[in-house]
Amino acid sequence: IYSHISKDRDQVDISYSSQLNDQEFAVALNNSFQKDLALQYSTQGIHKDDILLMIGDKAVKKYGSQGQQKTFVIALKLAQFDFILAAKGIKPILLLDDIFDKLDDSRVKYLLELVAGDKFGQLFVTHTHKERLLEMFKGVSKDLKHHEINYPDLVKS
């Protein structure tokens, strides 16, 4: 999914990192017991595990641009969509909030081409610039309905 949105500009990987792989959990708890008492919280356990999102050999959260980070988040959201579709046989509603923020036009275009296909069901896209949104959807979606919410009373000066 990520490679479709980025048009193969980046090689990505996702993995699960656990400190529990280093030693048995009971040993880790025993070794950290005094430290945990002093700190008043547990320094060992799955709450310290991490999901590593990588572009090449670099961590996305540390070295990725804002566009790369957002592309990764969107790719994960679309992977969740695929999982739910496969597991339940239903197409979940997909919400893409402010998709133009931090994404260049080419990534937005490839993303919209992807989600406008028959595989996806109902899609909600939010954005603050109506003209740009409508321009990006030109030629992508045959069944587009546009709704504008404009409540000046909600915005306080």
**Closest residue by Cα to residue 10 from 79, 58, 81:** 58
pLDDT surpassing 80 at residue 154: no
CA–CA dist 91, 117 (Å, integer): 12
Q: What's residue 7's pLDDT?
A: 79
CA–CA dist 31, 27 (Å, integer): 6
CA–CA dist 89, 13 (Å, integer): 27
Across 50-54, 80-84, 128-132, least confident range: 128-132
CA–CA dist 125, 39 (Å, integer): 44
pLDDT in tens, 130-147: 788 788 777 776 677 777
Domain definitions of the chain by residue range: 64-154
Q: What's residue 133's pLDDT?
A: 79
Please give the model's pTM, rounded to 2 decimal places.
0.73
- Name the token pair of 99: 């998709």
Q: What's residue 156's pLDDT?
A: 53
CA–CA dist 33, 39 (Å, integer): 10
What is the C-alpha end-to-end distance of the chain, expressed in Å?
41
